[in-house]
Chain A
Amino acid sequence: MIELRLPANEETIRRLRVGDQVSLAGVIVTARDAAHHYLIESDGAEVRDVLRNGMIYHCGPIVARENGQWRFVAAGPTTSIREEIYEADVIARYGVRGIIGKGGMGEKTVAACREHGCVYLDAVGGLGAVLAQSVRRVHAVHKLEEFGVPEAMWVIAVEGFPATVTMDTLGTSLYRDIETASSARMRELLSPVK
């Protein structure tokens, strides 16, 4: 297990390899569909500083409001591939060092990770309760009124957040390898026609 503190420098990120298990600590920002669209259409002033050398978490959490404080109730990852059309630009423009999500991303993001020094990390889908526990503090929330709770950008401090590197800066993608192998197996299963 690699302890990874955020913000992270490019050199640290470029040393990570597919298969590395990391424990994240530091500030990350949740962003999903509406937020990615917003980050491309605007200058993202609210989160620009925290995203530089920071990480984006594809997550639409359940958040409780108690005694004037926010508390994360459930916060597993959402499917990342929906952000494929935006992510390479977001990585380039904001200097993001990591994308945390589930299900993996496509070749455009793989290329951006290689060029700009960024990795993709798999957080296990459906770990709503476990991952919410690793959220220690909510620093801020942006666009809450406009986007709603799941789509808002939550700036959160995490500790002991478990994730696995599945796309690295060498252009390796675990998802590409798995899909190539499973598609070969599918061809075996489907042929010959009996």
Chain B
Amino acid sequence: MKLESKALTDALVELIRRSSTSIPHDVVEAIARAAEREEAGSGAQITLRLLLDNVRLAETTSRPVCQDTGALLFFVRYDRAYSQQEIAAAINAALPIATQRYYLRPNAVDPVTGRNSGDNTGVGIPFIHFEEVEQAANLPEKSLQKAGQVDNPPHLEIRLLQKGGGSENVSRQYSLPDASLAAGRDLEGVRRCVIDAVNKAQGKGCAPGIVGVGIGGDRSLSYLVAKHQLLRRLDDHSPNPALAQLESRLTDDLNSLGIGPMGCGGRTTVLGVKAGIAFRVPASYFVSIAYMCWALRRHTMIVAPDGGVSYHD
């Protein structure tokens, strides 16, 4: 059963509420483990425990975890029962409602006039990435079933990522080769870029961060691949063994920098590194680092064939 536009809008408002006021359990667990690894009584440990207190308070009082509710990025998989236009319309209808209910800060500013639209709508936003998939009956989406524990594949899946400005400002793109880093066109070159980006970020992107890495593509695709990585669970591993090894080595490298929570020192500079690729043209080799703050707001809504809506972090 297909969701009609009013029901879809209501479901999206709830998706935004859940995303804004909670942190996925894998991220919470990673922060809790990191707190145990920090020196007992250190500023880093106190800070990490405060983050956990904040998540609990936000969830129980239905307040946004962070006042910067970010840029909203929607990643939509739909089958032919739905149209892109109706999904986009429902998303745009949900934004003012979510703003009125204080799940979102008014966060959309006209770069020419400096005026805030007040309801999170505006030119060119929100970002919506559409992917049409097979009709539900033919959908071999193992990952969806795992994420959603649903028996039947969905008609519609909408994943939301809320990316705050502080972390976006320290995100960075490199074009290899980069002589200043002695970074060539290989995974060692990629590694050098990521270490440089995280060192330049210090605590300004709300460390400990989650680092999405996009390798290859053109400039825009490279960033998109990097942001896509932020939808992955922290405990998964890249199916590509070379990338899986890069992710794990970089996590250790970055945590040895000593930047620590909020850049005030400590053993936890990142909670994870996730890398993905897109093929490049021979002339270009881009490396994009999408830095995400510890408050990774990521939530998925699945509409099952019977019209039932479920939410998953």
**Contact indicator per residue, chain B 73-103, by CB within 8 Å of chain A (1) or not (0):** 0000000000000000000000000000010
List residues of chain A with CB within 8 A of the CB of B263. Answer: 103-104, 175, 178-179
List residues of chain B with CB within 8 A of the CB of A193. Answer: 182, 188
Asked whether A109 is an interface residue with its Cβ less than 8 Å from the other chain, the reply is no
Docked Cα-Cα span, A186 to B199, in Å, equals 8
CB distance from A99 to the nearest CB of B (A): 15
**Contact indicator per residue, chain A 116-139, by CB within 8 Å of chain B (1) or not (0):** 000000101111111011000000
> Which residue on B lies nearest to A59, using beta carbons?
B67
Docked Cα-Cα span, A61 to B294, in Å, equals 19
Asked whether B69 is an interface residue with its Cβ less than 8 Å from the other chain, the reply is yes
**8 A Cβ contacts from A130-185 to B:** 130, 132-133, 147-151, 162, 164, 166, 174-175, 178-179, 181-183, 185
Which segment of A4-12, A72-80, A87-95 sits at the interface?
A72-80
Asked whether B126 is an interface residue with its Cβ less than 8 Å from the other chain, the reply is no
**8 A Cβ contacts from B186-218 to A:** 188, 192, 195-196, 199, 202-206
In the bound complex, do residue B202 and residue A103 qualify as a contact, i.e. CB atoms below 8 Å apart?
yes
In the bound complex, do residue B264 and residue A126 qualify as a contact, i.e. CB atoms below 8 Å apart?
no
Asked whether A47 is an interface residue with its Cβ less than 8 Å from the other chain, the reply is no
Asked whether B107 is an interface residue with its Cβ less than 8 Å from the other chain, the reply is yes
Asked whether B109 is an interface residue with its Cβ less than 8 Å from the other chain, the reply is yes
Residue of B61, B106, B203 with most partner-chain A CB within 10 A: B203
Count: A-B pairs, CB below 8 Å: 167
In the bound complex, do residue A125 and residue B105 qualify as a contact, i.e. CB atoms below 8 Å apart?
no
A34 CB contact (under 8 Å) in B67, B114, B258, B260: B114
Asked whether A85 is an interface residue with its Cβ less than 8 Å from the other chain, the reply is no
Asked whether A15 is an interface residue with its Cβ less than 8 Å from the other chain, the reply is no
In the bound complex, do residue B199 and residue A182 qualify as a contact, i.e. CB atoms below 8 Å apart?
yes
The verdict on A125 contacting B206 (CB below 8 Å), with A73-B63, A162-B50 known, is: yes
In the bound complex, do residue A149 and residue B264 qualify as a contact, i.e. CB atoms below 8 Å apart?
no
Counting chain B residues whose Cβ lies within 8 A of the other chain, the interface size class is 35 or more
The verdict on A126 contacting B258 (CB below 8 Å), with A133-B57, A148-B118, A189-B195 known, is: no
Docked Cα-Cα span, A178 to B72, in Å, equals 32
List residues of chain B with CB within 8 A of the CB of A190. Answer: 181-182, 192, 195
List residues of chain B with CB within 8 A of the CB of A189. Answer: 195, 253, 256
CB distance from A159 to the nearest CB of B (A): 16
In the bound complex, do residue A124 and residue B182 qualify as a contact, i.e. CB atoms below 8 Å apart?
no
Docked Cα-Cα span, A125 to B167, in Å, equals 11
The verdict on A128 contacting B65 (CB below 8 Å), with A178-B265, A181-B258 known, is: yes
In the bound complex, do residue B203 and residue A103 qualify as a contact, i.e. CB atoms below 8 Å apart?
yes
In the bound complex, do residue A149 and residue B116 qualify as a contact, i.e. CB atoms below 8 Å apart?
yes
Docked Cα-Cα span, A186 to B201, in Å, equals 13
In the bound complex, do residue B67 and residue A62 qualify as a contact, i.e. CB atoms below 8 Å apart?
yes
The verdict on A150 contacting B195 (CB below 8 Å), with A60-B67, A124-B262, A126-B66 known, is: no
In the bound complex, do residue B116 and residue A150 qualify as a contact, i.e. CB atoms below 8 Å apart?
yes
Asked whether B226 is an interface residue with its Cβ less than 8 Å from the other chain, the reply is no
Docked Cα-Cα span, A73 to B43, in Å, equals 26
28 contacts between A and B (CB under 8 A): A62-B64, A62-B104, A64-B102, A74-B63, A78-B68, A79-B169, A79-B204, A103-B263, A104-B203, A122-B262, A124-B54, A125-B203, A126-B65, A128-B66, A129-B63, A132-B67, A149-B105, A149-B116, A174-B264, A174-B265, A178-B258, A178-B265, A182-B199, A182-B257, A185-B256, A185-B258, A190-B181, A191-B182
Sorted nearest first, the 8 A-B pairs with minimum C-beta distance are A148-B116, A103-B204, A74-B67, A125-B206, A129-B58, A182-B257, A128-B66, A129-B57
Q: Which residues of A contact B (CB under 8 A)?
A: 19, 21, 34, 59-62, 64, 73-76, 78-79, 81, 102-104, 122, 124-130, 132-133, 147-151, 162, 164, 166, 174-175, 178-179, 181-183, 185-186, 189-191, 193-194
Other A-B pairs, 18, CB within 8 Å; known A124-B47, A175-B264:
A62-B104, A74-B105, A81-B204, A102-B203, A103-B262, A104-B202, A104-B204, A124-B50, A125-B262, A126-B295, A127-B54, A148-B115, A150-B106, A174-B264, A174-B265, A175-B203, A182-B258, A186-B199
